Structure 1
Amino acid sequence: MTHPLTDESVRPDEPDTLEALRSAVEAGFPSTIADLTRLVKIPSVSWSAFDPAEVAASAEAVAGLVRELGVFEVVDVRRAPIGEGADAASGQPAVVARRAARNGRPTVLLYAHHDVQPPGLDEDWDSAPFEPTLRGDRLYGRGAADDKAGVMAHIGAIRALVEVLGPDFDLGIALFIEGEEEFGSRSFANFLREHRDLLEADAIVVADSSNWDVETPALTVALRGNVTFRLRVSTLDHASHSGMFGGAVPDAMLAAVRLLATLHDADGSVAVAGLTSADLATPDYDEAQLRAETGLLDGVAPIGRGSILSRIWAQPSITVTGIDAPSVANASNTLIPSVAVRLSARIAPGQDAGEALEALRAHLEAHAPFGARIEIDDVDTGQPFLVDTSGWAVAESKAAMADAWGREPVDVGIGGSIPFIAELVEEFPRAQILVTGVEDPDSRAHSPNESLHLGVFRRALLAEALFLARLDAREAGSPDRT
């Protein structure tokens, strides 16, 4: 059989191949959306308080879709332990698949995750979070964008590739659809080590990021790291009457509020010595766009210094994401002995997460008011990441995006974190890593009314299909497109 993309009459970078893939994507798009809606209906929240059977059901549903592609030699649902030792708990189920490369072609690893964030309160959604609903050009539902659309972008791209090339193409493909990304990827490093032979690749596509807008693709080249922990502030060994002793005895809430206030300057910039910033070029992005994309209320000013995008991509930030304290409804006239808060710090590319944790610890210990006692536990860290944009995989990906979208892609940073990328780099140091995505600024991942823009999804799917087709026509290690 003559391979369509090695025949002299058809090359992967010629318009007829692009149009063939475009037609295949369009023809398969209704089925792709139908499969996506079925996945979104599974409430696969990986957090420990939620039913793990739903995550298992989601993994089996994804595995079924992967098997139907008919191109992989191995398709399994597997787990890895969290931590070390015989008593280590098992992580959530992930889907792995692999087909071997042939005739000197490279291998690409396609990553996404099938678990989702908790939905929050139903009343905050305009439609039920696990009942995917189409309104206009957006599909609403928890996981519709983050990241079950990433899963279906990989599956849909391979479907289009098979439609154009047939199932006997030469490109090696590995697939890793994780089941606990939203719960910290706690078994990720062990999973990589235990399944290295299935996952090793020349290039890795992480489909878990966003685009510049609904008309402009983006390649994520910088990610902030994260340091999160529980901070407990204590001033008393038992509660006391606020009327009897208030004014002489510092309660834990007062101490916590004063301590948290030391983390920021008057303009909202982080004021913790030892937390660094990165020197990154940023595109134009004004306050009006920030307000439109975030819902910043009229009269509320942005915080921080420097260009707006540098504050999000290249500077640290600290957020109090939770407080354990009496609710207003249950408040009594009591001096509270202890308060716990959850702190989430984002750290700039170039800083080590362990160094950032120690800087935060030192700051909190030095600034504890009234001699309050502080404890830090339940720590999670993730390293920041800077993409090396000089490799052939980046060039191929950008060219595919430009052809599929009709616009040149933008290099972007992301204020959020994908900590496991550092583990991918450690395990596969020679692999080129591409961070792509199907989201846009209004996707509202992690928030109520999360949604997927269907036009963005269609173009992202086509870009990945074209990327795979072009890799199928190049020799592994070749510096230039063949």
Structure 2
Amino acid sequence: MPLPRRICAPALLLLMCCVLSPPLPLQAAQMNQAEAAERVLAALDKDGREVVVALHRTLAAIPSSGPESGGPGESKKAAAVLAWLRELGLGDVQRVDLPDARVPSGVRPNFALVLPGRDTSRTLWIISHLDTVPPGDRKAWTGDPYTLRVQGDLMYGRGAEDDHQGIVSGLLLARALVGTRLVPPLNLGLLFVSDEEVDDTGINHVLKTRPDLLRPTDLILIPDGGTPDARTVILSEKKLLWLKFTVLGKQGHGSEPDKAVNTLTAAADLIMRLRGLYNDFPAQDPKFDPPASTFEATKLAAGVESVNMIPGQTVFYMDMRLLPTVPASAVRERVRQQADAVEHESGVRVRVEVESDSVSAPETPADAEVALRLFRAIRAEYGVEPTARGMGGRTFASDLRAHGLPCAVWMTATGTWHQPDERSSISNNLRDARVVTRMLFEAGTPRR
């Protein structure tokens, strides 16, 4: 792991000195859990800002988008995290890598680390993802997206919030536990996965090849969504349905429309007809924002190169986010009916393909232990009343819930993921780690 610019080697060694020696761990039972929690919380606050910035600076400098966008994958970022864990003396990780010939390393890394608790049969997991989206239009950024900029409490860079903040909050807690030599009531597990931004192949590979790793009795937190006030706990997600439409007709000269079959106008007609899906599926659920299913045309992928050409093929995509009660099969059937109508009226052929179809998953009950512990921890740390909500965006929480694994999605967020000048708050990183500490120990006094 390269040294951050503003921390020289002696300073970094000073930051790590509390964990490099190997004294025997202390059982939290030797003190009450409130005292143990306060010791860990104090360890988080000590030089926490410098550690947060150092970690973010290292992670920001490593591009980790997937091969679908021409990226190198996550292996170099995984290596940086693993190097940091080894410096803590935590090198006993479980690798669950997924082969992928499209990336230079040949694998998409997934790995888990478990710090044993007194009850080794249960684990509080923090699951974060190593990949980011590409920077997009670099001209829209104030600075280099791969060079961390720190302005006051904010750190700017691609991936800063999605999901470097999730990675860092887990690493901070692991460091604090090692430094205090305390054994928590439950195991603390850190699981780092690849390919969250595209297909969730990382978490699904873990679920398939290591079904013993995550258990229904575990507490699973995914720091990959939230609000600035820390109130929002996401316990359910809309189903994702991406459709690809290929409209086929006959190419011709712009001055001779009678000799062509214009697929662009037919595609426009179909797009407008599909706006009617909002009326066809009007159900609402106030847990979500927006409360209804959404059906939006997004990407136009193929056409013609010249203004004086009538296109004979037009390709476009739709992004649909369905409430859990709306069956994807019914939506696809209605889409096919509208495509058939356009074929009949315009003389084109319309091919509809499923580009991505997320699993249907139950929501995590608000009285599940992971939710109740998280609610209590948020109240203790922030002094606010948390709210159980759903989200239209997709995380791999749905994959976990589909496997019978209750989980909660939460972080204290600026909400700038995927945007130019994506940013993360230093204090949010620290307080997220404090909230998880309170979940782990179920103790601690409210912070003033």
TM-score for both structures, normalised by structure 2 = 0.83
3-state DSSP of counterpart to 1:388: coil
3-state DSSP of counterpart to 1:340: strand
**1:205-354 counterparts in 2 under 5 A?**
205-211=221-227, 213=228, 215-236=229-250, 239-243=251-255, 245-246=256-257, 249-265=260-276, 270-271=278-279, 273=280, 275=281, 277-281=283-287, 309=289, 312=290, 314-326=291-303, 330-354=305-329
Which amino acid letter does the alignment assign opposite residue 51 of structure 2?
Answer: S
Provide the C-alpha distance between the structure 1 equivalents of 2:390 and 2:239, rounded to a whole number of angstroms.
12
3-state DSSP of counterpart to 2:135: coil
**Corresponding residue for residue 58 of structure 1:** 77
C-alpha spacing 1:241/1:404, structure 2 compared with 1 (3 Å):
same
**1:357-436 counterparts in 2 under 5 A?**
357-368=332-343, 369-377=345-353, 379-383=355-359, 385=361, 386-418=363-395, 420-427=396-403, 429=404, 431-436=405-410
Provide the C-alpha distance between the structure 2 equivalents of 1:99 and 1:366, rounded to a whole number of angstroms.
59
Is 1:193–2:213 an aligned residue pair? no
Which amino acid letter does the alignment assign opposite residue 171 of structure 2?
Answer: I
Provide the C-alpha distance between the structure 1 equivalents of 2:368 and 2:380, rounded to a whole number of angstroms.
19
C-alpha spacing 1:392/1:332, structure 2 compared with 1 (3 Å):
closer
Q: Give the superposition deviation at 1:204.
A: 1.2
1:444 to 406, 416, 419: 416
The answer on whether the counterparts of 1:98 and 1:199 sit within 8 Å (CA) in structure 2 is no
Is 1:78–2:96 an aligned residue pair? yes
**Corresponding residue for residue 45 of structure 2:** 26
Q: Give the superposition deviation at 1:55.
A: 1.7
Tell me the number of residue pairs that the alignment of Structure 1 and Structure 2 aligns.
413
**Corresponding residue for residue 153 of structure 1:** 169
C-alpha spacing 1:276/1:204, structure 2 compared with 1 (3 Å):
farther
The answer on whether the counterparts of 1:219 and 1:435 sit within 8 Å (CA) in structure 2 is yes
Provide the C-alpha distance between the structure 1 equivalents of 2:267 and 2:199, rounded to a whole number of angstroms.
27
Q: Give the superposition deviation at 1:34.
A: 0.8
- 1:26-73 superposed Cα distances (whole Å, 9 cap, x missing partner): 213311221122011100001334243x5211111122233444457x
3-state DSSP of counterpart to 2:162: coil
Q: Give the superposition deviation at 1:189.
A: 2.4
- 1:127-164 superposed Cα distances (whole Å, 9 cap, x missing partner): 11111112343211110000111111111122233344
3-state DSSP of counterpart to 1:175: strand
Farther-moved stretch of structure 1 (330-339 vs 138-147):
330-339
- 1:367-417 superposed Cα distances (whole Å, 9 cap, x missing partner): 444132111235211135522111222111111111112322222322211
The answer on whether the counterparts of 2:244 and 2:354 sit within 8 Å (CA) in structure 1 is yes
Gaps of 5+ in 1: 83-89, 283-308, 473-482
Which amino acid letter does the alignment assign opposite residue 83 of structure 2?
Answer: G
Which amino acid letter does the alignment assign opposite residue 114 of structure 2?
Answer: R
Provide the C-alpha distance between the structure 2 equivalents of 1:365 and 1:439, rounded to a whole number of angstroms.
44
Q: Give the superposition deviation at 1:100.
A: 4.8
Which amino acid letter does the alignment assign opposite residue 191 of structure 1?
Answer: V
Provide the C-alpha distance between the structure 1 equivalents of 2:84 and 2:282, rounded to a whole number of angstroms.
44
**Corresponding residue for residue 177 of structure 1:** 192
C-alpha spacing 1:335/1:57, structure 2 compared with 1 (3 Å):
same
Q: Give the superposition deviation at 1:423.
A: 2.6
Provide the C-alpha distance between the structure 2 equivalents of 1:104 and 1:176, rounded to a whole number of angstroms.
16
Provide the C-alpha distance between the structure 2 equivalents of 1:346 and 1:92, rounded to a whole number of angstroms.
27
**Structure 1 ranges of 4+ moved more than 6 A:** none
- 1:456-479 superposed Cα distances (whole Å, 9 cap, x missing partner): 22222211122122399xxxxxxx
Farther-moved stretch of structure 1 (254-263 vs 174-183):
174-183
- 1:84-113 superposed Cα distances (whole Å, 9 cap, x missing partner): xxxxxx762122223455446621222110
Provide the C-alpha distance between the structure 1 equivalents of 2:443 and 2:114, rounded to a whole number of angstroms.
16
Provide the C-alpha distance between the structure 1 equivalents of 2:134 and 2:392, rounded to a whole number of angstroms.
21
3-state DSSP of counterpart to 2:224: strand
Q: Give the superposition deviation at 1:352.
A: 4.0
The answer on whether the counterparts of 1:161 and 1:465 sit within 8 Å (CA) in structure 2 is no
2:59 to 19, 23, 39: 39
The answer on whether the counterparts of 1:387 and 1:434 sit within 8 Å (CA) in structure 2 is yes
- 1:252-300 superposed Cα distances (whole Å, 9 cap, x missing partner): 11111111011225xxx724x3x46343357xxxxxxxxxxxxxxxxxx
Provide the C-alpha distance between the structure 2 equivalents of 1:316 and 1:196, rounded to a whole number of angstroms.
32
**Identity across the alignment (%):** 21
Gaps of 5+ in 2: 1-23, 101-105
Provide the C-alpha distance between the structure 1 equivalents of 2:41 and 2:118, rounded to a whole number of angstroms.
25
3-state DSSP of counterpart to 2:420: coil
The answer on whether the counterparts of 2:230 and 2:412 sit within 8 Å (CA) in structure 1 is no
Farther-moved stretch of structure 1 (33-42 vs 131-140):
131-140
**1:122-137 counterparts in 2 under 5 A?**
122-137=138-153
RMSD over equivalenced CA pairs, Å: 2.9
C-alpha spacing 1:76/1:391, structure 2 compared with 1 (3 Å):
closer
Which amino acid letter does the alignment assign opposite residue 50 of structure 1?
Answer: G
Which amino acid letter does the alignment assign opposite residue 120 of structure 1?
Answer: G
